[in-house]
Amino acid sequence: MPERLSGILPSVLSVLLALAVCWGLIALTLAPDTAANAYLQMLWGGIGNWPSYLEGAAATVLTRPLGESGMKAALLTLTGLSVAVAFKVGLFNIGAQGQMILGALAAALVGAHLSLPAVLHVPAALLAAALAGAAWAGLAALLKLYRGVHEVISTIMLNWVAVSLVDNWLVIGPLRGVAEGGQSITGTAEIQATAALPRLLGDVSRLNLGFLLALFLAVAVWVWLQRTRSGFETRAVGLGAEAARTAGIPVARRTGLAMALAGALAGLAGAVLVLGTERRYPGTLGAPYGFDGIAIALIGNNHPLGAAVAALFFGVLRAGGTRMQLLGVHQTFPELIQGLALLFVAGRMVWLALLRRRTAATPAPANAAPPTEAPRA
């Protein structure tokens, strides 16, 4: 089986299996018809209600759902990329959520308190968010490199530090915004119009520039990893740190920079959320997109473009999930689908073994070593 196919197939099959299992669950608990209808509603809720548009409904039946999907997909892409980049250098970044919180706060502050023309204001806010996220992840990297603290432990703990620091103190304390009438509001002050990410499909749709930014970054990260010297060094460190060290690659610097990049990407997710939709740092950040990033990265096989595709898919599903409620199906069902897909994709080796058995009629490739530690042939 070609390497590329064996990277993609387990993910695709896992998602399909998750869809099938959830279909079965709805069919069993409600009715088979409901399952079909719910999936259809989820689809129209995600990609736009094309049937009614073709019957003459206004274009907003398309742009509004697409906006929701695109917004969610952008956030999932960025946090998914964050986790995937850390994976490439051999680190498991559980801290995308905390990095995103710091990024969101930085974007909200720069957006609200600096006065700049839009051309500069948006980049400034994005940059601040990226730096804040990078710094938060950089803490974990420094702890790892100089103190040997495992990044899983430190990033999990830094998530809680971020929640306590930002949600439980700063935004309800010193940084709490004041509305025009003088009354206190939840969260930080609203960002200035110059800092808002421009909307792409009109005011009804929340699709904004963040979506394009996320897609651009997915491609950029992929190009960096595959085509540049430093990307190659990063991958080499992730796949064989000792061999990389022997080859003269600065392992610590590559590890630190990759982790900082992971943090920057998660920080940008926070910025996209604040500058694109929330317009302020809300009382609490809400949906745990940072944790979703782990699922997105794994379903995307830790490939930057794979993560983007997974994010688009689950962005559509999760935006459409709201419409499942019309049929009495809980709106978090897409999250269940995503969770199951993650569970199934964790059995990647099982999928590959099953697929190998299917192709066993043809001679097995020489390099198809069994999962057991096999010595060289």
Partner 1 sequence: MSLADASLDIRDGELLAVVGENGAGKTSLMNVLYGLYQPDGGQLSLGGKPARFKSPRDAIARGIGMVHQHFMLVPTLTVAENVVLGREPTRRGLFDLERAVSEVAATCARFGFQLEPRARVDTLSVGSQQKVEIVKALHRGAQVLVLDEPTAVLTPQESDELAHVMRGLVAQGRTVVLISHKLREVLGVADRIAVMRRGRVVAEVRPAETTVEKLAALMVGEGHPALGMAASGRAREPSSGMGLETNTPPPGDMLAARPASRPSVDPTANTAGELLLEARGLQALADSGRPALRGVDLTVRAGEIVGIAGVDGNGQRELAEVLTGLRPLTSGEGTLLGGPLAGLTPARARERGVGHVPEDRLLRAVVKALTVEENVALGRHTRPPFARGTWIDFPGRRERTRDLLAAYDVRPPDPTAFLRSLSGGNQQKVVVARELDARPKLLVVVQPTRGLDIGAVAQVHAKLREAREQGAGVLLVSLDLEEVLKLSDRVYVFFEGRVTGHFTRPQYDERELGRRMLGAGTDHA
For partner 1, the binding residues (CB under 8 A) are 3, 226-230, 232-233, 235-236, 239-240, 242-250, 360, 363-367, 369-370, 372-377
Burial class of residue 289, CB neighbours in 10 A (0-12, 13-18, 19+): buried
Nearest distance in Å: CB 364, partner 1: 6
Return the axis-axis angle of helices 229-239 and 251-272, rounded to nearest 10°.
110
340-373 CB burial, b ≥16 within 10 A, e <16: bbbebbeebeebbeebeeeeeeeeeeeeeeeeee
Who's near 351: CB < 8 A, 6+ residues apart?
9, 10, 13, 14, 344
Nearer to partner 1, 128 or 237 (CB): 237
Nearer to partner 1, 174 or 358 (CB): 358
Nearest one of 287, 286, 312 to 299, comparing CA atoms = 312
Nearest distance in Å: CB 358, partner 1: 15
Nearer to partner 1, 21 or 368 (CB): 368
Who's near 282: CB < 8 A, 6+ residues apart?
171, 186, 187
Nearer to partner 1, 58 or 247 (CB): 247
Nearest distance in Å: CB 82, partner 1: 22
d(CA 312, CA 69): 8
Nearest distance in Å: CB 92, partner 1: 17
Nearer to partner 1, 72 or 235 (CB): 235
Ramachandran class of 179: left when φ > 0, alpha when ψ lies in -120 to 50, beta otherwise: beta
Nearer to partner 1, 95 or 256 (CB): 256
CB-based contact 234:252 (threshold 8 Å): no
Q: What is the DSSP string of 252-279?
A: HHHHHHHHHHHHHHHHHHHHHIIIIIIS
Nearest distance in Å: CB 145, partner 1: 16
Nearer to partner 1, 164 or 246 (CB): 246
What's the maximum distance between 2 C-alpha atoms anywhere in the chain?
77
Nearest distance in Å: CB 2, partner 1: 11
Nearer to partner 1, 52 or 226 (CB): 226
Nearest distance in Å: CB 230, partner 1: 7
For 199, which DSSP code? B
Nearest distance in Å: CB 308, partner 1: 22
